[in-house]
Amino acid sequence: MFAAPASAKDMSEAVSEKLKAEKEKSKKRSKSKQKAEEYRITVHIAEIISRHQYLIKLCHALMMYGAPTHRLENYMRMSSRVLGIEGQFMYLPGTMIISFDDSNTHTTEVRIVRSPQGLDLGRLRDVHEIYKEVVHDLIGVDEATTRLNEVLNRKGKFPTWLRLILFGVASATVAPFGFEGRYIDLPICFVLGCLVGFLQLYLAPSNELYANVFEITAAVATSFMSRVFGSINGGNLFCFSALAQSSIALILPGYMVLCASLELQSHQMISGSVRMVYALIYSLFLGYGITIGSVIYGYIDENAVSSVHCSTGSEWYLHRPGQDFYILFVFPFTICLCAINQAKWRQTPGKSTTQRLVATYLTNFRFQ
């Protein structure tokens, strides 16, 4: 009779302890769920950030190594679609505006990628291979980012001193079939081409201020030296026009005009128009430099020669190579261009390219 109250008290204590234990277990479960959710969110955000970084690096590499500018927005849209990133891309010459959207949080992150327009055919091929493997889901974002960093940090295939010499060789080989150059003009063309290569490869990258006036100074220097050599012996020894034109052949805005035309063809009016106008102004700068250089020497030498055509003499070295032999200069010129632009050996002209060169030669010189 006297044990009942005590047992009831023990039962109430046991129940309260059980409830406390269940509350503690539920708290632990909720904490573990909260930690798991936080970890999942952290991993998800880290994946999104890594994908954003990959897209930015890919854009920077494509712009820096000379990818076709009319395809840049398509490359970026395709990559973002495969990676599940909501993004919008707008390309302007030298600049890509990227907008990363998030429809869940209704936020937007805008990034601006600025990169100088260059041309490196070898590394561009590697970057394009990485892009294709990611688009076809062959490699992950982390591996792709690592490989992009390796490509960005890798040195060029050909050293700078060799490319400088190839500038001279290219100028010498383009003179006969492009600018009426004679055999005796080829060594001077080589020297002037090396001068342009030195200004572009050594002086312009080391001085940002000089890089803005590189084209004008190169045209002034080569035009001045061309008229100096062209005026020797009354203009009967060297050809002024061939020397002046062949020395700047490698800095003519041909690739720039091509990119502008493709952009306009793809209905990219803003970037295409800006690039085309800049190419025209660039050409005017080169013409202005040639005029200034020749006029300066004209003030020094009253008997300076300014003939726009090359004359021939009785000696063999004063003759131009025959049209049947122009093809012998086209192929070395193409090889030099590939090496100057850091192309791989697999990208150099092969059988099909040689056939195209022969077809072009026959069309231009044999069936006129």
142 and 166 housed in the same domain: no
Same domain, 61 and 175: no
- Average of per-residue pLDDT across 130-154: 89
- Measured in residues, the chain has a length of 368
Residue 334 belongs to a domain: no
The per-residue pLDDT for range 325-363, each reduced to its tens digit, is 787 888 888 888 888 988 887 777 665 556 666 666 666
Mean pLDDT of the chain: 83
Same-domain check for residues 105 and 175: no
pLDDT above 70: percentage of residues in the chain = 82
- Same domain? For 171 and 141 the reply is no
> Is residue 274 in some structural domain?
yes
Q: What is the pLDDT of residue 32?
A: 59
Residues 6+ apart with CB under 8 A from 202: 160, 164
Domain shared by 105 and 244, yes or no: no
Give the residue from 153, 182, 211 where a domain finishes.
153
- What's the whole-number mean pLDDT along residues 113-126? 88
CA distance 294 to 206: 28
268 assigned to some structural domain: yes
| Residues 309 and 173 grouped into a single domain | yes
User: In this structure, are 170 and 233 located in the same domain?
Assistant: yes
Phi-psi region of 48 (alpha: psi -120 to 50; beta: other; left: phi over 0): alpha
Residue 1: pLDDT band (50, 70, 90) is very low
CA atoms within 13 A on the CB side of 245: 18
Kindly report, residue by residue over 199-256, the tens digit of the pLDDT: 999 998 888 888 888 999 999 999 999 988 888 887 788 888 888 899 999 999 988 9
Same domain, 297 and 164: yes
Residue-wise pLDDT for 288-304, tens only, equals 999 999 899 888 888 88
Q: For residue 290, which of 235, 229, 248, 239 has the smallest C-alpha distance?
A: 248
**Residue 40 pLDDT > 60, yes or no?**
no
**Could you tell me the CA-to-CA distances from 71 to 60, 90, 95, 262 in Å, in that order?**
14, 11, 14, 9
The number of distinct structural domains making up the chain is 2
Query: Which residues span the domain enclosing 111?
Result: 33-153
Q: Is residue 191 part of a domain?
A: yes
| Final residue in a domain of this structure, among 104, 126, 153 | 153
pLDDT for the residue numbered 44: 52
For position 358, what pLDDT does the model report?
Answer: 63
The answer to whether residue 59 is domain-embedded is yes
User: Is the same domain home to 171 and 319?
Assistant: yes
- Residues 64-119 pLDDT 10s: 998 888 889 899 999 988 888 888 898 988 899 999 887 777 778 888 999 888 88
Q: What pTM did the predictor assign?
A: 0.78
Domain co-membership, 268 together with 224? yes
Q: Is the pLDDT of residue 169 over 70?
A: yes
Tell me: do 270 and 135 sit in the same domain.
no
Question: Is residue 357 domain-resident?
Answer: no
Q: Which residue has the tokens 């201020």?
A: 209
